[in-house]
Structure 1
């Protein structure tokens, strides 16, 4: 029996916190220029340092943008527009981000999630286009991961909430690994595979592909749905299924789905999770707490 690994990207394969935090600061300056115009380098450095602490709450990249602004409002009382910023701590963000996020989005007039996703992605795209070397250098793969991916004998898929083109670029340019794009399930990927037999010529193809991409972003499939799809494929029948993730909440969502009882679940303890979450994971029979060295050995 062979093995199939569905791997999260950020926090499992790649530490992208430096890049996502810097991108969020760049994006925040463009999104809210009046608020960020007077922010000095010392305050920026403080914000980025705090982003490493609050990173475990981020499920999708655009949330970094919201966190950067919230941290600024916590630091600078004179520019506060959110009712939650006063007296807020990073520990409180870690505990209650799911409740805080909708409040700040409403108070800041930022209720369009898809617009935030597109805006944040555009800022990253522009950074890549203008200075690819620096953008790539702001990321790092965890020790031993590139080698494990290169020599892996198992079937592998990337299942991430990151925009797929960024995961693909980092795998190729930083890790030196090529994973077929159809095996990368991410935000903004997969639309060309939804209708594999569809052939459209001329300008209509460009229009339709754009519409499909926008539809996919708006209706991004949760990871549980991707896992269901993977286990149903004829070529995967008989394989032992493994899902490696760094967010405990995601693994708990998988456990809620009886259809996914066949998956072995792992929480990577080197990723973006807290000690409290790791302790909770150890109390859940379905979840195996995984060390980085054991993970890289499993792939090989």
Structure 2
């Protein structure tokens, strides 16, 4: 296992470099020194009216920060869900909340609220409302008969998620024109193309709050992985902790999907890779997963913006191309080591 302190420092420096590159690179390149100059002028209330200042502060900085927040949130959510269901290959999509958020957003696009604008407030609000409604439905099904057993939670989430995915596909087929259909499909694959300062507010509150809450319960998460009886012997109420975890991860996932669409593999791949690097202790795992997720998504978004000259790629395309072979390699390595 790698020491957490030096690893976190390296990840933080790499994230800072990636953020700088994400702001500097694009159709109009801006030197890194000018990037930091523009940021400093804005923070010191001495903005300039030049094109570079406008491009840096109004367009690229909020997008880069949103990518970092979404990536960190996905890393945290994936780690929490894997502890919740005691499965290192689980992710938030397993709870069905992502499907609910996708249905809400697609309904808004197809029915006209925010149509063609994947950054609209109406679209984000519809996605978040869909996530919360799905959370309530999965909760109601999972707690019938008392308790919140991992298997019942997973089965409820998968069944409801598949049902909602079917409704989403039906709505996509009902889209009235080709442009609207393309907007729907692009959003379903994940995009940060409409990022702005207003969109940053909710994830900037939700991600740090969720991270602090999870870090405060890191020991309890460790106990939960050992089974309910062991957790009870250590003074942890497993049922209550699962309810809290389900609530926090569902709300966090809803916030993230509302601002970025459905981004595949990050919440599954990042915690699994970090667990191999630093072990399963959540006191070490959570901060590393957050930093790794942030770094990954900033780099992926930069690739999506710059890989093609005339258009940008959806996030889910790149994360899937990276995530599937990486996860297979990690699984092969884990099996080969006998762990």
In the superposition, the TM-score normalised over structure 2's length comes to 0.30
Tell which has more relative contact order, 1 or 2 (C-alpha 8 A, sep 6+): 2
In the superposition, the TM-score normalised over structure 1's length comes to 0.32
Indicate the structure with greater helix content.
2
Indicate the structure with greater strand content.
1
